[in-house]
C-alpha cells in the first residue's frame, strides 16, 4: 500500500498566497491558490496509490477532494514541522507528501518514488526528497513514516531543504532525489510556473488576472 498526501490550507483571501498581494488583491491571490490546489489534487488523483489524503487546514475543503476520492484529515495546531510530523506519525504505509504550491506537478516528477514504494519492489531507498528552488522542499516520502524525522526542522528558510535532508541522512537513511520544482510564493515564481505548465488551471487563472495589467 502507498499513501499520497496533499497538505493544503483553505483558499481564503488574506490567508493564502499573501506574498502575491500586491500586485494581486487578496481575493485574486486566493483564486490563484485555489487553482493551484485543484491542479495538484487532479494530478495526485491520477497517480497509482491505495490511499489519498488531503491534510487540510480550514473549514471547507475543495469539492474536488471528495469527487476525486481523497480522505480529508484536519491539521492540528502548531508550527509547520509539527503538522508535517503528524502526517508521518499518523500513517504506517509508505507515504509521499506533496504541497499545494506546485501546480506544475506531473506524474513523471514522482514516478521514481512511487515505483520504489510499490509492493513487491526490492529497493534500498528509504526516503525521497523533492527540493524546491527557494531552498525548501515540495515533496517528502518515507518508506517507514516517522514524524520525528521532521519535527524540529526549521521551516520556511532558505536552508530548510538542506536541513531536512540532513536529518534523514543523519538517521542513517538512504535518500533519493526527485526533480527540483518551483513553489509559487511570489509573482516572479507564479510567472515561471505559468509558463512551465501553460495548460494548468493555475496558468489559465494567472493569464486571466494579468491580462491588460502593466508589465
CATH code of the domain covering residue 112: 3.90.550.10
pTM, whole model, 2 decimals?
A: 0.94
pLDDT at 1: 78
Mean pLDDT for all residues in the chain: 95
CA distance 56 to 94: 20
> Is residue 195 a part of any domain in this protein?
yes
Query: Is 50 part of a structural domain of the chain?
Result: yes
3-state helix, strand, coil split of the chain in percent (to 5) is 40, 20, 45
Q: Is 215 within a domain?
A: no
- Band of pLDDT at residue 212, cut at 50, 70 and 90: low
Q: Is residue 136 part of a domain?
A: yes
What is the rounded average pLDDT of the residues 5-31? 96
State yes or no: pLDDT of 60 exceeds 80: yes
Mean pLDDT (whole number) for 56-63: 93
H or E stretch at 38? helix 26-45
Residue 76 has pLDDT above 80, yes or no: yes
Number of structural domains found in the chain? 1
| Band (119; pLDDT cuts 50, 70, 90) | confident
Average pLDDT over every residue of 32-57: 96
C-alpha 29/C-alpha 11 separation (Å) is 9
pLDDT value, residue 191:
97
Instruction: Tell me how far apart the alpha carbons of residues 142 and 125 are, in angstroms, rounded to a whole number.
Output: 9
Contact 16, 33 (CB under 8 A): yes
pLDDT in tens, 127-186: 999 999 999 999 999 999 999 999 999 999 999 999 999 999 999 999 999 999 999 999
Identify the domain containing residue 143 by its residue range. 3-210
Query: Considering the domain boundaries, does residue 114 fall inside one?
Result: yes
The answer, yes or no, to whether residue 213 has pLDDT greater than 70, is no
Residue 122: pLDDT above 90? no
66 assigned to some structural domain: yes
Adjacent-strand bridge partners of 53: 5, 71
The answer to whether residue 22 sits within a structural domain is: yes
pLDDT at 215 over 60: no
Amino acid at each position: 500500500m502507498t499513501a499520497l498526501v496533499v497538505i493544503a490550507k483553505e483558499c481564503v483571501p488574506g490567508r493564502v498566497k499573501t506574498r502575491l498581494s500586491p500586485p494581486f488583491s487578496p481575493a485574486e491571490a486566493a483564486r490563484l491558490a485555489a487553482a493551484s490546489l485543484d491542479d495538484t489534487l487532479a494530478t495526485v488523483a491520477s497517480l497509482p496509490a491505495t490511499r489519498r489524503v488531503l491534510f487540510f487546514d480550514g473549514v471547507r475543503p475543495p469539492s474536488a477532494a471528495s469527487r476525486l476520492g481523497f480522505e480529508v484529515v484536519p491539521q492540528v495546531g502548531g508550527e509547520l514541522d509539527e503538522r508535517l510530523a503528524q502526517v508521518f506519525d499518523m500513517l504506517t504505509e509508505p507515504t509521499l507528501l506533496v504541497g499545494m504550491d506546485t501546480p506544475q506537478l506531473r506524474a513523471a516528477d514522482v514516478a521514481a518514488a512511487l515505483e520504489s514504494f510499490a509492493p513487491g519492489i526490492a529497493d534500498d531507498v528509504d526516503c525521497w526528497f523533492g527540493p524546491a528552488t527557494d531552498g525548501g522542499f515540495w515533496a517528502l516520502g518515507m518508506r517507514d513514516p516517522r514524524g520525528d524525522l521532521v519535527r524540529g526542522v526549521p521551516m520556511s528558510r532558505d536552508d530548510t531543504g538542506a536541513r531536512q535532508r540532513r536529518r534523514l541522512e543523519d538517521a542513517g537513511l538512504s535518500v533519493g532525489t526527485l526533480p527540483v520544482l518551483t513553489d509559487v510564493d511570489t509573482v516572479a515564481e507564479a510567472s515561471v510556473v505559468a509558463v512551465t505548465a501553460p495548460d494548468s488551471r493555475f496558468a489559465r487563472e494567472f493569464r486571466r488576472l494579468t491580462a491588460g495589467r502593466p508589465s
